[in-house]
């Protein structure tokens, strides 16, 4: 696109406006950035609060019904595992001391605080819900970190669990040898073409004690970034899904 010539003051103003629009387009956030003060834990520029507000206003009556759901209470030995994006928590799974159980987020209804596995601190949370635009009467239950500025992607639990947030290079190399995809996120113009986005390993574990490593990571999609727990296959050359979540694709 060729800028207009500066023939008079009116065209000069048009030229300046053209430059401002171009600068704005080139600086729009997309995909992953990295929090310098959080040891490279990823921060997702997804503006999740605005998106949830839009979804909730899509049908306020139905969204209110989502929030009024009676919820699910955890059993005595059950631990809710969740991941954080932009100050919101989405349920990943429930761990019963032996294995993983699917979770849908209704568990947040009876939880007042959760433990951050990254900084080893407890955070107060509030229950929230909205109606997804992906289908009629489909509730998304989640929680919000109350009064916190913590925006990085991290792992939260209702009790501390043995998850390694400082994994070694060997496990990191193993993960990226299997998950080597790179996704072009969004729909950029040729002038705004950006590098593709790879999965970001956040932690490793072996909570179910079967000897096969579990990987906790962000995974990029074209229009969003989700989170997953995968377990190493018996052959050691593949990964099996334990939980795969995404706020806008549940």
Percent of the chain topping pLDDT 70: 68
Q: Which helix (H) or strand (E) holds 57?
A: helix 48-58
More confident residue, 224 or 63: 224
Q: What is the mean pLDDT of residues 59-65?
A: 66
**What does R_g of the chain's alpha carbons equal in angstroms?**
21
The pLDDT tens digits of the residues spanning 142-183 come to: 999 988 888 888 999 999 999 999 888 999 999 999 999 998
Q: What angle do CA 59, 60, 65 make, to 5 degrees?
A: 105
pTM of the model: 0.75
Give the Cα separation of 181 and 239 in Å (integer). 13
pLDDT of res. 206: 97
More confident residue, 87 or 239: 239
For strands 225-232 and 239-245, give the pairing: antiparallel
The pLDDT tens digits of the residues spanning 180-231 come to: 999 888 766 666 667 788 999 999 999 999 999 999 999 888 878 899 999 9
Residues listed for the chain: 250
Query: Where are the chain's structural domains?
Result: 1-26, 32-245
pLDDT of res. 50: 64
Average pLDDT, the chain: 79
Contact 143, 82 (CB under 8 A): yes
Give the Cα separation of 223 and 244 in Å (integer). 16
Residues β-bridged to residue 108: none
Q: What is the mean pLDDT of residues 34-56?
A: 50
pLDDT of res. 137: 63
Q: Is 235 helix (H, G, I), strand (E, B) or coil?
A: coil
């Amino acid at each position: 696109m060729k800028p207009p010539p500066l023939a008079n003051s009116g065209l000069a103003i048009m030229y300046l406006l053209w430059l401002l629009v171009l600068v704005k387009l080139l600086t729009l956030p997309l995909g992953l950035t990295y929090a310098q003060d959080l040891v490279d834990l990823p921060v997702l520029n997804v503006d999740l609060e605005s998106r949830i507000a839009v979804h909730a206003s899509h049908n306020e009556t139905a969204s209110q019904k989502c929030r009024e759901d009676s919820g699910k209470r955890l059993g005595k030995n059950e631990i809710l595992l969740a991941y954080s994006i932009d100050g919101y928590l989405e349920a990943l799974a429930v761990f019963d001391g032996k294995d993983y159980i699917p979770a849908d987020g209704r568990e947040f209804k009876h939880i007042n605080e959760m433990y951050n596995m990254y900084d080893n601190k407890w955070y107060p949370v509030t229950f929230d819900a909205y109606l997804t635009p992906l289908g009629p009467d489909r509730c998304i239950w989640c929680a919000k970190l109350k009064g916190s500025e913590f925006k990085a992607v991290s792992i939260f639990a209702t009790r501390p669990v043995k998850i390694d947030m400082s994994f070694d290079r060997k496990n990191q190399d193993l993960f990226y040898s299997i998950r080597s995809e790179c996704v072009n996120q969004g729909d950029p113009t040729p002038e705004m073409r950006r590098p593709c986005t790879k999965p970001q390993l956040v932690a490793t574990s072996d909570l179910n004690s079967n000897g096969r490593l579990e990987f906790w990571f962000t995974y990029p999609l074209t229009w969003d970034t989700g989170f997953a727990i995968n377990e190493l296959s018996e052959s050691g050359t593949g990964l099996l899904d334990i939980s795969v979540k995404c706020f806008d694709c549940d």
